[in-house]
Amino acid sequence: MQGSRYREGKGKGFNMKANVTYWLDKTADRFPDKTAFADERKAVTFRQLKTQAMALATQMLQMGLFKKPVVIYLEKGVDVLVSFMGAAYSCNFYSPIDVDMPASRVNKILEVLQPALVITTKELQTAFESYEYEGGYLIFEETVDASADEEIVEAARCRGIDTDLLYVLFTSGSTGIPKGVTINHRSVIDYIDWVTETFDVTEEDSFGNQAPFYFDNSILDIYSTIKTGATTYIIPKNLFAQPVPLLEYLKEKKINTIFWVPSALIVVAKLKAFRNVDLSDTLHRVLFCGEVMPNKQLNVWRKFLPDVLYANLYGPTEITDACTYYIVDREFADDEPLPIGIPMINTDILILNEKDELVKDDEIGELCVRGTSLSMGYYNNPEKTREAFVQNPLNPAVPETIYRTGDLVRYNDYGELLYLSRKDFQIKHMGHRIELGEIETAVSSIPEIALCCCLYDEKRQKIVLFIEEELDKTYINGQISGLVPEYMLPGKVVSLEKMPINANGKIDRVKLKELL
């Protein structure tokens, strides 16, 4: 039997630590009855998480799936995490799709990913059946309590290695096709080892999760919990619009660590919710990543919670969440930039100028990354992969890939990195990564529109759409709401008599910027 053959080989070549589920095995042994994850409706202990994930893994392997893409189509909650672990135990790789995502975008993702299976509920299956997908389903509630076949799961894991994919997360693509960032087990293992060592995460910690599971910030909460035996509470989304109840929730659940996008921290700071809820005995660490954290708002947090550890993490999905960090260790004026700091362990950061040479002193350059954190490329998209994952220009001797982030940075006098701006048309709006080209592609599909251009008004935090036709925002957003997620809808539409064109015959974005 195949299972036993691999089991025999276990002592020789099998690397248990090649798969993130190794952590869950250990933690389920150490803290079987401790809560691993909890959402509004339910909670799972580490033992339950393992048992349920093993049941899903058994089913996937019995269906003959190994190293295949598996879509997780479930409401955000504990069941998603059980499914992630099920995919990992079976050596398949998961890709979460948000249940609120517009149909056309789901279809684009399905076309790229070509999933072998969709894990969902009976109820959500009906919705999914309207998409362009003809493969199989695994119904969560019908499978999760089935008994697991440990042998078959073990046999699969014996065949897996650490460079096998763990997940694919889709991000905005400038041509309108979302890009599937692939990440393997090794990248997550290295990253979480760094996180848990740097921030001393133990079983006594509790995370308050904000990040959607289709966004890579969630990796920190999920895998730090699985590795150490901490607990993660999945905070109900609606609380992020109500700072006082949000802080009360943190206090009630005794959450001592949060890793949120700056947008979520800014809302709390603006409304000065700390005056109503004292978190000084509760909160120990406030980590953030994903966009610029203004010191103006960070200073409000620091004033009310001076003893908390604050850290600014920086990085794109393509390098497994973060590659540089800065633990806040000095005072900053409200208008000073907060550094993104220094490289994480086992990560090399190259700042390249326009000639692809290392920058000197405080010269501005593009931040490029080298190391095990790098994605293996965009799934089924060799062209985009070739553009961003390139040969290290400083190493002509052997093939060595670096990832070009498109972020412009420079060093400050402390030798720390400062984030300045983007090289391209990618923006961050309320924590979401958006390619303005994706919105333009959607708008161009409106029959009346001949030419359009999108810019981001940083000051007012608005996506501004320029068109030549007399059409209003409600009409336009109504037309494209089925094509792009809600957070990509323009906040302002400007009708121009004529679109400005530059000497190269392209839309003159500099002129348009002056109109913001």
Cα–Cα–Cα angle for 441, 409, 269, nearest 5°?
80
Q: H/E element holding 13?
A: helix 2-13
Q: CA–CA distance from 74 to each of 167, 302, 450, 479 (Å)?
A: 16, 37, 38, 27
Query: Closest distance between ligand AMP and the C-beta of residue 482, in Å?
Result: 23
Only one residue has tokens 């400007």, namely 494
Query: Closest distance between ligand AMP and the C-beta of residue 135, in Å?
Result: 28
Query: Closest distance between ligand AMP and the C-beta of residue 431, in Å?
Result: 8
Give the rounded distance of the alpha carbon of 339 from its chain centre: 21
Only one residue has tokens 């001393």, namely 200
Query: Closest distance between ligand AMP and the C-beta of residue 421, in Å?
Result: 9
Dist CA 4 CA 1 (whole Å): 6
Which CB atom, from 235 or from 311, has the smaller least distance to ligand AMP? 311
Dist CA 175 CA 441 (whole Å): 7
- What phi and psi, each to the nearest 5 degrees, are found at residue 119? -95, 125
- What phi and psi, each to the nearest 5 degrees, are found at residue 269? -65, -40
Which CB atom, from 137 or from 214, has the smaller least distance to ligand AMP? 214
Q: Is the separation of the CB atoms in 138 and 119 below 8 Å?
A: yes
Which CB atom, from 158 or from 289, has the smaller least distance to ligand AMP? 289
The sign one gets for the Cα dihedral 340, 341, 347, 349 is: positive
Which CB atom, from 153 or from 319, has the smaller least distance to ligand AMP? 319
- Judged by DSSP in three states, 374 sits in coil
Query: Closest distance between ligand AMP and the C-beta of residue 169, in Å?
Result: 8
Query: Closest distance between ligand AMP and the C-beta of residue 24, in Å?
Result: 25
- The three-state DSSP-derived secondary structure of 412-475 is CCCCCEEEEEECCCEEEECCEEEEHHHHHHHHHCCCCCCCEEEEEECCCCEEEEEECCCCCHHH
Which CB atom, from 160 or from 315, has the smaller least distance to ligand AMP? 315
End-to-end CA distance of the chain: 68
Query: Closest distance between ligand AMP and the C-beta of residue 435, in Å?
Result: 11
Q: Specify the amino acid at residue 156.
A: A
Dist CA 313 CA 321 (whole Å): 9
Query: Closest distance between ligand AMP and the C-beta of residue 318, in Å?
Result: 7
Tokens of 458: 């940083």
Query: Closest distance between ligand AMP and the C-beta of residue 210, in Å?
Result: 14
The sign one gets for the Cα dihedral 468, 472, 475, 478 is: positive
Query: Closest distance between ligand AMP and the C-beta of residue 147, in Å?
Result: 39
Who's near 221: CB < 8 A, 6+ residues apart? Answer: 207, 209, 211, 232, 259
Query: Closest distance between ligand AMP and the C-beta of residue 299, in Å?
Result: 17
Q: CA–CA distance from 382 to each of 7, 376, 441 (Å)?
A: 37, 11, 21
Query: Closest distance between ligand AMP and the C-beta of residue 319, in Å?
Result: 9
Query: Closest distance between ligand AMP and the C-beta of residue 265, in Å?
Result: 12
Site of interaction with ligand AMP (CB under 6 A):
171, 216, 289-292, 312, 314-317, 340, 405, 407, 419, 422, 428, 433
Buried residues in 416-447 as b, exposed as e (16+ CB within 10 A): ebbbeeeeebbbbbebbbbbbbbbbbbbeebe
**DSSP string across 48-104:** HHHHHHHHHHHHHHHTT-SS-EEEE---SSHHHHHHHHHHHHTT-EEEE--TTS-HH
Longest dimension (CA), the chain: 75
